[in-house]
Structures are given as structure tokens and as C-alpha cells.
Amino acid sequence: MRRKVIAGNWKMNMDPIEGATYVKEFIHLVEDTENEVILCAPYIDLIGLVQFTKGTNVKIGAQNMHWEESGAYTGEISGSMLKLIGVEYVIIGHSERRQYFAETDETVNKKVKAAIANELNPIVCVGETLEQRENGLTKEIITNQTRLALEGLQEEQVANIIIAYEPIWAIGTGKTATSEDANNSIKSIRDEICKIYGQNVGERVIIQYGGSVKSANARELFTTLDIDGGLVGGASLKPEEFSKIVNY
């Protein structure tokens, strides 16, 4: 049995004061869950959040990182910097970064490797656009993105990774993939990993669903065979609502 991993992606929301107020309430709302709980916050919130969640079951993640360790990369943050302050997870290749910040399959792959080298757990995002979906390309797109993101990793490293399948047309739109659809896409990602890295690895890797997850649909999504939890944007911004998703 794989564990369920539920991560909130605050995106460019929640300043450090709002974040502190949030976690004070949130840690109590999720203290009894057996699911893994992660909050992925803006960089400037991270030091505070790591401190406020110390000794609780809430883990902290970043939303991006650079693949180099240091150097002349104005505005960037490295994996070793995140590790140093106690961050444990990092979202890599979110569709908003692929769309607005020139993230490619190649930079995703470099970042995944750098995250692992710094003992951070990557949450690697893949997903198709509406146009690709309507042209019947979903499976091809998401299996390609997965293969390229993981290229060059050892089997054991792949087994410990988290993948978030996020159909782009479902992000922030209120349109959720049906649980059957989401499960099928996730199954095709898992099959691809089994094909390349072996059955044992494919069966271990955590694959989340993301895209308009809310408390009203979390249970239906998360109780399907292949969906191992979720990456939650908008609905993670309110502690009460997000705790209902965690405690689905």
C-alpha cells in the first residue's frame, strides 16, 4: 500500500504574516491524519514555516529552485539553500513555470537531479493542455514529460519521487478531471515508469492528482486505485478547507 501525500501549493499567495497565522491553526486541524501533509510556500515564508511546524506532521516545501549550487543567477535560489533552512520538498516543473518562466523538460530534469543531490524530495508536475487533450495526445504528452523529467536517475531515486499529474485545463478553473479520467492518466504514467525502471519501482512511486481539488471532490479522487493524494492550489489557501482535503 502506498501512502497518501497531500500538498498545498500556495503559489504567489500568503505573506509571512498570513502564513504564520495559517499554520498556527492548520497544524491542529491535521494532527491526527496518517496522510503526509506538505505546504509549498513562497520563498520568504519558508524559514518561518519550518520553525512553526517543527515537531508537527506538517512538512514544508518550496515551489521552485535553480539547478546550480550558487553563482551569478540573479533572483534564483538553490537546492542547498533550501536544504539548509530545513525545507524537505520542492515542486518542480509546475505548468505555470513551464508556461510563464521558460521551464522546459530539460531544466525540469536538471532541477530534479539537483534536488535529489541536496536530499530534497521533488514533486514533479506533468500535464496536458486542453488542445492536446482534444487531439487525443494526453497519454503521449504526460508519459514523455515523465520520462524526460526522470532521465538519468537511478531506480531507487525514481521510486522515492513524487509526481503530480495536473491537467492544465483543470488548474484554477473549477473543472476537475473525473476520478476515472484522472486515474487512467495516472495509471499510464505509472505504466511508463514500470516499463523503464521495473514493476517494483513503478508500484512504489507516489503519483498525485492536481487541478481544482477541493473538499467536495477529494474523497472521490483520492480513493481510486492509482491516485496517491493531491497537489492543491486555491483550496489550500484556507486552513479549514485544506484540512478537510487532508482528512478526506
* 78 C-beta neighbours (distance < 10 Å), count: 18
- Of the candidates 26, 32, 40, 37, which has an alpha carbon nearest to the alpha carbon of residue 3? 37
Q: What is the rounded distance in angstroms from the CA atom of residue 245 to the CA atom of residue 23?
A: 15
175 in Cβ contact with 224 (< 8 Å): no
- At residue 136, the 3 state secondary structure works out as coil
Cβ contacts of 66 within 8 Å, gap of 6 or more: 73, 76, 77, 78, 79, 111, 114
Binding to ligand PGA by residue 234, rule CB under 6 A?
yes
Q: Which of 166, 192, 226, 228 binds ligand PGA (CB under 6 A)?
A: 166
Q: Which is nearer to ligand PGA, 27 or 232 (CB)?
A: 232
Q: Which helix (H) or strand (E) holds 180?
A: helix 179-197
Binding to ligand PGA by residue 229, rule CB under 6 A?
no
Q: Count residues binding ligand PGA (CB under 6 A).
A: 13
Q: Which of 171, 193, 205, 227 binds ligand PGA (CB under 6 A)?
A: 171
Binding to ligand PGA by residue 208, rule CB under 6 A?
no
DSSP-derived secondary structure letter, 165: E
Q: Which helix (H) or strand (E) holds 122?
A: strand 121-126
Q: Which is nearer to ligand PGA, 229 or 234 (CB)?
A: 234
For the bound state, the minimum distance from the C-beta of residue 164 to ligand PGA, rounded and expressed in Å, comes to: 7
Q: What is the rounded distance in angstroms from the CA atom of residue 134 to the CA atom of residue 152?
A: 32
Find the largest Cα–Cα distance for the chain: 48
Q: Which is nearer to ligand PGA, 172 or 198 (CB)?
A: 172
Binding to ligand PGA by residue 8, rule CB under 6 A?
no
- Cα first-last separation, the chain: 18
Catalytic residue among 96, 128, 166, 192: 166
Mark residues 52-91: x for contact with ligand PGA by CB under 6 A, - for none: ----------------------------------------
For the bound state, the minimum distance from the C-beta of residue 176 to ligand PGA, rounded and expressed in Å, comes to: 8
- CA 36 remoteness from chain centre: 12
Where does this chain touch ligand PGA (CB under 6 A) — which range of 53-61, 135-143, 205-213, 216-224?
A: 205-213
Q: Catalytic annotation on 94? A: yes
- Quote helix, strand, coil % in the chain, to nearest 5: 50, 15, 35
Binding to ligand PGA by residue 198, rule CB under 6 A?
no
For the bound state, the minimum distance from the C-beta of residue 209 to ligand PGA, rounded and expressed in Å, comes to: 10
Where does this chain touch ligand PGA (CB under 6 A) — which range of 52-60, 75-83, 155-163, 231-239?
A: 231-239
- Grid cell digits, residue 139: 497519454
Q: Catalytic annotation on 66? A: no
Binding site for ligand PGA (CB under 6 A): 9, 166, 171-172, 210-213, 231-235
Instruction: Enumerate the active-site residues.
Output: 94, 166
